């Protein structure tokens, strides 16, 4: 009954629905008037033929003829009466079989079904909602973010401005609310005072309006917004945004760091207090071909080699692991230890002689080029659209699959190609094409959707960076605070109290890495954090552990050692 009342209220609140309903009532009134007139005419003609019938019989005859049932128990004998029967029959076909059903569906049934659907898309959140995340768009970034929020048990709701968007998300079982993105009252209904964060990733103009509208009623709620231009960033800062996603710069920096033969320095990709996580390429460091034990990385620099990137996956490290030219190190330590690593291995040998071909001259492609310039790496760009060319002397206009253009760009002698287009299907096609052209070419590609990362690896890409993963990780880091840090490609640094099952065990006897896939990279005892503890250090209940591993490894750790 409550649901019926909600649907009826939604239906009657719509002016068009009320107008259509009145039109339907008027049509029914016309139909009643015609039936009455035909019944009177029936009596007049029957009296002329000498037949006498009651008024109920007149209505009965009219309705049976108009509905084409035509029982035949009451008939006219004169031609005039039969002509009248034909008129009644034709009128019934037009009204009852054509006009009335069409009008009923168009003016009542369809609006009623729409109202029923709209009733499933609420305009407010329940009073019990607390610590929730409000999203204003459901795209590649927020699709992955939603999965992460669900995994970490964060409530959320997606605000959309139109009912078609709401219905599409409702069919996917996504919590959705309908409202005007620029109306402060919308955010009151979304319980902005009890929310944990707002994430807006629509256009620059809408993001600015959303931020301004929220700041009219709340000064404290964190707001994370995407921006595609410097002007938009300035406007968002003036509107009161908390954090701006510089997605193009982040992606460009990450893509450029993965070039083999370029910068060998360790680049910081995350920090948790004094603990620093960095990544570095093994190429041109002199460590290629050596095992981890032979490399002497930890004895010489103090940093711990906590993992290796391999086609988008974080692999554990053992003393027997052989370092390859394509190996990407994940290093953990202090700032001083990372600096020491760079003094020993971070030279730029032959970087100026390296050549990279960039496919795509959009925002990500331009950011990648600027980062390569900072590393002293030579590059040439191919861009399909002339109006997007920014570096005229170093850009060739044309299709990235044209062989002559690739030869002119120097692909035959380049060490790496970086594919930066925003279309994943194009990136997969180009990856397959380049891999067939050169087997030993390093192919680095951007992926817009997380689901296409594995496909790009299968196509032959050596390194794939997900736009969605990088953005979602950044947003979740701001939400979860300093106790957890998500790095690119789904690697998590998180904290946990020492489980009782590990109390008194040494680090090596705890078997945390072998059982869960996580590595303990720091132990906090008595307010002091010991980074890169020795394998013989003893674990004690009450100590805080800092661990690194994939999201799956983090889940396994808490499955084996659930929090008290």
pLDDT digits (tens, 9 = 90+) for 270-301: 777 788 888 888 877 888 889 988 988 888 88
Give the separation between CA 140 and CA 511, rounded to whole angstroms.
37
What percent helix, strand, coil does the chain show, rounded to 5?
Answer: 50, 20, 30
The dihedral over CA atoms of 172, 479, 132, 179, expressed in degrees to the nearest 10, equals: -70
Element (H, E) at 277: strand 275-281
From 91-95, 125-129, 506-510, the region with the lowest mean pLDDT: 91-95
Is residue 506 within 8 Å of residue 223, measured between CB atoms? no
Give the separation between CA 156 and CA 130, rounded to whole angstroms.
9
pLDDT at 383: 95
Query: What's the pLDDT band for 106 if we cut at 50, 70, 90?
Result: low
In 146-196, which ranges are E strands? 156-160, 176-178
pLDDT at 201: 92
pLDDT at residue 183 above 50? yes
CATH 3.30.70.1450 residue ranges of the chain are 264-345, 490-560
Give the separation between CA 87 and CA 103, rounded to whole angstroms.
22
For the chain, the first-to-last Cα distance in angstroms comes to 44
Q: How many CB atoms lie within 10 A of CB 155?
A: 16
In the CATH scheme, what is the homologous superfamily, with its name and number, of domain 133-245?
NAD(P)-binding Rossmann-like Domain (3.40.50.720)
pLDDT at 149: 87
237 against 11, higher pLDDT: 237
CATH 1.10.287.70 residue ranges of the chain are 2-119
pLDDT at residue 434 above 80? yes
Residues found in the chain = 564
Q: State pLDDT tens for residues 45-80.
A: 888 888 888 888 888 888 788 777 766 678 787 878
| CATH fit for domain 351-468, picks 3.30.70.100, 3.40.50.720, 3.40.50.2300, 3.40.190.10 | 3.40.50.720
Contacts of 337 (CB under 8 A, 6+ apart): 276, 301, 302, 303, 531, 532
5 against 490, higher pLDDT: 490
pLDDT at 351: 47
Mean pLDDT across the stretch 7-14?
51
Instruction: List the beta bridge partners of residue 371.
Output: none
pLDDT at 86: 82
**Percent of all residues in the chain with a pLDDT value above 70, rounded to a whole number:** 87
| Residue 156, token pair as written in the block | 């959320």
Give the separation between CA 340 and CA 403, rounded to whole angstroms.
44
- Alpha-carbon distances of 17 from 5, 31, 102, 164, rounded to whole Å: 16, 21, 15, 17
pLDDT at 391: 92
pLDDT at residue 349 above 60? no
pLDDT at 186: 93
500, 444, 43: which is closest to 251 by C-alpha? 444
CATH 3.40.50.720 residue ranges of the chain are 133-245, 351-468
Q: What is the pTM of this model?
A: 0.69
Mean pLDDT across the stretch 487-506?
81
Architecture of domain 264-345: 2-Layer Sandwich (3.30)
| Residue 536, token pair as written in the block | 């013989």
- Mean pLDDT, the chain, whole residue set: 83
In the CATH scheme, what is the homologous superfamily, with its name and number, of domain 490-560?
Regulator of K+ conductance, C-terminal domain (3.30.70.1450)
Which 3 state secondary structure label does DSSP give 462? coil
Class of the CATH-defined domain 2-119: mainly alpha
Q: State pLDDT tens for residues 16-31.
A: 666 766 766 777 787 7
Give the separation between CA 261 and CA 353, rounded to whole angstroms.
9
């Amino acid at each position: 009954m409550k649901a019926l009342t909600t649907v009826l209220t939604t239906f009657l609140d719509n002016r068009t629905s009320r107008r259509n309903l009145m039109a339907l009532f008027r049509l029914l009134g016309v139909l009643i008037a015609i039936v009455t007139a035909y019944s009177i005419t029936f009596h007049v003609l029957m009296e002329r033929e000498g037949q006498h019938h009651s008024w109920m019989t007149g209505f009965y005859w009219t309705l049976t003829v108009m509905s084409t049932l035509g029982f035949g128990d009451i008939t006219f004998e004169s031609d005039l009466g039969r002509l009248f029967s034909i008129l009644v029959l034709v009128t019934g076909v037009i009204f009852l079989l054509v006009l009335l059903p069409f009008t009923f569906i168009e003016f009542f049934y369809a609006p009623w079904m729409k109202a029923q659907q709209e009733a499933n898309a609420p305009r407010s959140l329940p009073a019990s909602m607390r610590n929730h995340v409000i999203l204003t768009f459901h795209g590649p970034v927020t699709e992955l973010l939603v999965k992460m929020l669900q995994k970490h048990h964060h409530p959320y709701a997606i605000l959309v401005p139109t009912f078609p968007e709401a219905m599409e998300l409702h069919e996917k079982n996504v919590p959705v609310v309908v409202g005007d993105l620029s109306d402060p009252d919308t955010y009151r209904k979304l319980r902005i005072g009890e929310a944990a964060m707002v994430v807006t990733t629509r256009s620059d103009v809408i993001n600015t309006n959303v931020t301004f509208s929220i700041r009219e009623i709340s000064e404290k709620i964190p707001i994370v917004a995407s921006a595609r231009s410097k002007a938009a960033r300035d406007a968002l800062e003036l509107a009161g945004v908390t954090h701006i996603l510089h997605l193009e710069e982040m992606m460009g920096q990450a893509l450029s760091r993965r070039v083999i033969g370029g910068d060998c320095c360790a680049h910081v990709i995350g920090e948790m207090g004094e603990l620093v996580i960095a990544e570095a390429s093994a190429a041109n460091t002199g460590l290629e071909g050596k095992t981890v034990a032979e490399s002497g990385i930890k004895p010489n620099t103090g940093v711990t080699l906590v993992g290796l990137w391999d086609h988008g996956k974080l692999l554990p490290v053992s003393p027997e692991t052989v370092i390859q030219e394509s190996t990407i190190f994940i290093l953990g330590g202090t700032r001083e230890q990372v600096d020491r690593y760079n003094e020993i291995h971070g030279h730029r040998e032959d970087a100026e002689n390296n050549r990279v071909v960039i496919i795509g001259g959009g925002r990500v492609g331009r950011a990648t080029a600027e980062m390569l310039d900072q590393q002293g790496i030579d590059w040439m760009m191919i861009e399909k659209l002339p109006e997007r060319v920014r570096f005229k002397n170093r850009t060739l206009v044309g299709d990235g699959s044209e062989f002559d253009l690739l030869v002119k760009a120097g692909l035959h002698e380049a060490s790496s190609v970086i594919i930066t287009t925003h279309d994943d299907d194009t990136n997969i096609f180009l990856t397959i094409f380049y891999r067939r052209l050169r087997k030993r070419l390093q192919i680095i590609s951007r992926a817009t959707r997380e689901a296409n990362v594995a496909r790009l690896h299968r196509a032959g890409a050596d390194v794939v960076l997900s736009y969605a993963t990088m953005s979602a990780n950044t947003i979740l880091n701001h939400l979860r605070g300093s106790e957890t840090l998500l790095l690119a490609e789904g690697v998590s640094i998180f904290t946990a109290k020492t489980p009782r099952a590990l109390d008194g065990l040494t680090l090596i006897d705890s078997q945390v890495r072998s059982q869960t896939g996580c590595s303990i990279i720091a132990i906090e005892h008595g307010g002091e954090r010991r980074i890169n503890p020795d394998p013989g250090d003893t674990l004690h209940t009450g100590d805080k552990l800092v661990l690194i591993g994939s999201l799956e490894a983090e889940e396994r750790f808490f499955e084996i050692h659930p929090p008290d």
